[in-house]
Structure 1
């Protein structure tokens, strides 16, 4: 950080002078660019701004004429001086050692060694001088410091200049470190969250990346800060900070922000809401980090297909954090969800969608197909007037979190959404798209966290429903799964798998030797609960043929199909086989 007047006063050479701030104590954070020693009454043209002026009571600062003293201080202020330090020594204070007899550095003197003022001197040891200085400095923008003990100005200049040089060196090292950090992230195609997190770590303040609609795509709170405080009411607060075409400060909260530009189009902006500096200034390091991070984000976004990809990724990251317990507080969950575009609701509903499709050998075809499904889900939710968070995983499964007004609206919203989704999906005008997708619905909740943590439940329901008949259902809940849902949970259990194999192995061996037929008939028999009249109509087999084949099944399996327990065991065995190896299921 730049050296301030307060920092200079803390250095040993000045502390030895017992410094007293007689005016401008609230301005001690002003940065010091250099130190200038002078007894001249007018330094106009000699200062470039940011200098701390060192002088003594022998110079114009010791004048008894208060108007002259005020004019002297005003000229320093107008020249941009960071402050003035006045040593109360020399003839004006009765000291025996003159200022010209002591080492000085960077010193300006009028011709002849005098002060340039013929005014009568104030008593530098008396309280009236400090009071006069305070009155003369009223309304000025810099601090006035009085030294009651003699100091060596050359020691002060050496100490300050050494600090300034060191600070410049540290700034160069920080700039190099910042450059290397964001260059590495760009080369690694780091995620937006990673870039924003690194910016927050380097700057020591909160950082938020938003799109042009003021939806938060990535954020990291500052040290000791919270996501709730950072993101609550973000869209409203962000709209009060006007967009700028370059790095700047704006809005009621004085946010520091810079645009993120991709292909000459403003994509969003990177914001540091808490980056305000003291005295209205901003640390150069903070601005540097902000701008380098914005450049890294621009490079990262160039690789994205479109803005929707980034929005989905932001929503997906949040849904994963919520479902996997990385967010534990409801206020934080609500703040983050609203910031990425979810309207608050009285109730939240978790969904998962699976799509039936023929296998594709080309990975690009799979990606394009999954992308079409995701876009269809997003369009259907918007068309239904539903506020939702949507994401897709690598298997093509899509997870959704709906916001709704209450539990009484759930079924109506789900039916409307399912109908609109079927219109969006390929094949909607032929045999109906509903047979190609399954929607699993988890238990809704008034808590966003509770609903999000039921997304795995919705995914399980969709997975089980994908192996069921029932294309006429617009969606499935846990009550629709029953035994199939339980077996799906247990399908990896080796005891259950061994049970199914034991029940069916003889008929499976017969199918392997003689071809399919009896296993399909067994399925039909169990589907009509052993009703032979219904079975005959279903299979269109003559009664003699039907009875002969049923008897063959009973001989193979060694069971009586009229026995309810036998039918139940075989039904469980067939369901288990379907869940473990769904490709073996006969139609």
Structure 2
């Protein structure tokens, strides 16, 4: 805090003058920008505000009206206060001038003994300059602290702790939903600091710039590029407002810069990882030695065996960015393969079941599939391709505890891997072509009836229940269905062929709908 009127009066040189405060007691804590000695009547013309004016009363002595006008000018220009040295020539301040000062809450002080004004100005100015030097020193310390932390890529928690150390106050970083991201408690336990935090935080308005508000008098500053704040830094008990503001704003800048650097680095890393995985799938890595060297250069631990894995969301309305974020700590490469798939290449020792469970804990809609363990880097391309097929199939099946593999999806996985094979398409058309054409022309729900019939293993009683049909209407429908498929429905081999064809049809239909 800068030198105040109260602190100036306490200096030995002014205290020796036996000062008496006649008005403006509440204004004694106003900061002093400078000390000015003036005896001219037109005093307002030589001031700019926040000066402590020293006078022997010469500029006020002409008349009571002149004294009142002298005070009026000081009030209007925003002076910090007036100190009048009383003497035989000027024994008291006129009532009019005193009334003007009291009405404005303006500090007016009289000295009952003479003092050397030059010593007053010298001491007060020395104190002001020392305070200004201290503020410059403190600003330099704040700058160095956060610059060093920025270069060291310090965490959010470390930046918040630095802000707390510099302000001597507890500091909390919260997001826009008032969830605490990082905290540093000072002079109070963390649990007390965060008690009922969301409610208390919502009572303190969010400001577009640094400011103090709310019932607890918190100092807050937004964190984020202007117009795009993502959080708020809270100094709960700022001791010195100017310093707390400086620290809070510098800490907010450091937090945003760190977030931008982290985001940029992550983006570059993801592009590099994705490029390697796509080169692997397309056979552009060259020799095994070159591929292994590139993989090591990307920071992946050296390993004899590697596994390709693919993550995707069950629904098509999500973003793969969510998956990338959730998989950020996996040992190995993580990169976006396309709009639906995130690829992984990990050493064989990585527990992908554990990775899958952790992923599901963050993204319940996610599926993680793995291919076979491959010896070497280049053979892992086949593992990655297999994982993509398995992931697509697993996304249509009930949730699985852990990482899904080919052995877990069985026939659906086989058909999915053969979905581009013309022979499978011809088979499905041969089995279901007439039925699908009939459905396209007339409707009637016979395809769904076949799906239900196969699901219950040909049990007509159970079929009537799940299909919500009565037995009387069921038999003609089944007869028509049998005519269209051209095979007896009660034959196990026929049901098996129809089931495979229908599964292949459903998979292709689902893929087209994505």
Provide TM-score, normalisation by structure 1: 0.46
| Kept in 2: contact 1:53–1:85 (CA 8 A) | yes
Residue in 2 that maps onto 1:212: 176
Q: Secondary structure at the match of 1:44?
A: helix
Residue in 2 that maps onto 1:299: 257
CA–CA separation in structure 1 for the residues paired with 2:193 and 2:46: 46
Residue in 2 that maps onto 1:232: 195
Offset of 1:156 from its aligned partner? 0.5
Residue in 2 that maps onto 1:148: 112
| Kept in 2: contact 1:262–1:302 (CA 8 A) | no
CA–CA separation in structure 2 for the residues paired with 1:361 and 1:22: 75
Offset of 1:190 from its aligned partner? 1.0
> Does residue 1:258 correspond to 2:221, yes or no?
yes
> Does residue 1:433 correspond to 2:436, yes or no?
no
Q: Residues 175-231 of structure 1, C-alpha deviation per residue, up to 9 Å, x if partnerless?
A: 111111000111111111111111111122222211111111112234x34434533
Residue in 1 that maps onto 2:209: 246
Q: Secondary structure at the match of 1:22?
A: strand
Residue in 1 that maps onto 2:332: 362
Residue in 2 that maps onto 1:496: none
Q: 1:73 to 1:436 in 2, by over 3 A?
A: same
Offset of 1:45 from its aligned partner? 2.8
Residue in 1 that maps onto 2:5: 5
Q: Residues 241-263 of structure 1, C-alpha deviation per residue, up to 9 Å, x if partnerless?
A: 33333223344444322211159
Q: In the TM superposition, what are the counterparts of 1:185-200 in structure 2 within 5 Å?
A: 185-200=149-164
Q: Secondary structure at the match of 1:433?
A: coil
Q: 1:368 to 1:172 in 2, by over 3 A?
A: farther
Q: 1:199 to 1:20 in 2, by over 3 A?
A: same
CA–CA separation in structure 2 for the residues paired with 1:238 and 1:286: 18
| Kept in 1: contact 2:59–2:70 (CA 8 A) | no
Q: Residues 319-339 of structure 1, C-alpha deviation per residue, up to 9 Å, x if partnerless?
A: xxxxxxxxxxxxxxxxxxxxx
Residue in 2 that maps onto 1:202: 166
CA–CA separation in structure 1 for the residues paired with 2:140 and 2:107: 34
Q: Residues 289-323 of structure 1, C-alpha deviation per residue, up to 9 Å, x if partnerless?
A: 111101110122124459xxxxxxxxxxxxxxxxx
Offset of 1:150 from its aligned partner? 0.3
Q: 1:291 to 1:426 in 2, by over 3 A?
A: farther
Offset of 1:164 from its aligned partner? 1.6
| Kept in 2: contact 1:255–1:276 (CA 8 A) | no
Give the gaps of 5 or more residues in structure 1: 93-122, 307-359, 382-423, 438-587
Task: Work out which of the residue numbers 231, 246, 249 in structure 2 matches 1:268.
Answer: 231
Q: 1:263 to 1:4 in 2, by over 3 A?
A: closer
Q: Secondary structure at the match of 2:143?
A: helix
CA–CA separation in structure 2 for the residues paired with 1:207 and 1:130: 51
Q: Secondary structure at the match of 2:20?
A: strand
Q: 1:37 to 1:209 in 2, by over 3 A?
A: same
Offset of 1:139 from its aligned partner? 2.7
Q: Secondary structure at the match of 1:170?
A: helix
> Does residue 1:377 correspond to 2:381, yes or no?
no
Residue in 2 that maps onto 1:137: 101
Higher RCO (CA < 8 A, seq sep 6+): 1
CA–CA separation in structure 2 for the residues paired with 1:235 and 1:29: 35
| Kept in 1: contact 2:69–2:97 (CA 8 A) | no
> Does residue 1:84 correspond to 2:82, yes or no?
yes
Residue in 1 that maps onto 2:72: 74
| Kept in 2: contact 1:256–1:276 (CA 8 A) | no
Q: 1:84 to 1:432 in 2, by over 3 A?
A: closer
Count matched residues: 300
Q: 1:13 to 1:159 in 2, by over 3 A?
A: same
Computed over aligned residues only, the root mean square deviation of the Cα atoms, in angstroms, reads: 3.4
Provide TM-score, normalisation by structure 2: 0.52
Residue in 1 that maps onto 2:147: 183
Q: 1:435 to 1:2 in 2, by over 3 A?
A: closer
Q: In the TM superposition, what are the counterparts of 1:452-471 in structure 2 within 5 Å?
A: none
Q: Secondary structure at the match of 2:37?
A: strand
CA–CA separation in structure 1 for the residues paired with 2:364 and 2:227: 32
Residue in 2 that maps onto 1:539: none
Q: 1:56 to 1:432 in 2, by over 3 A?
A: closer
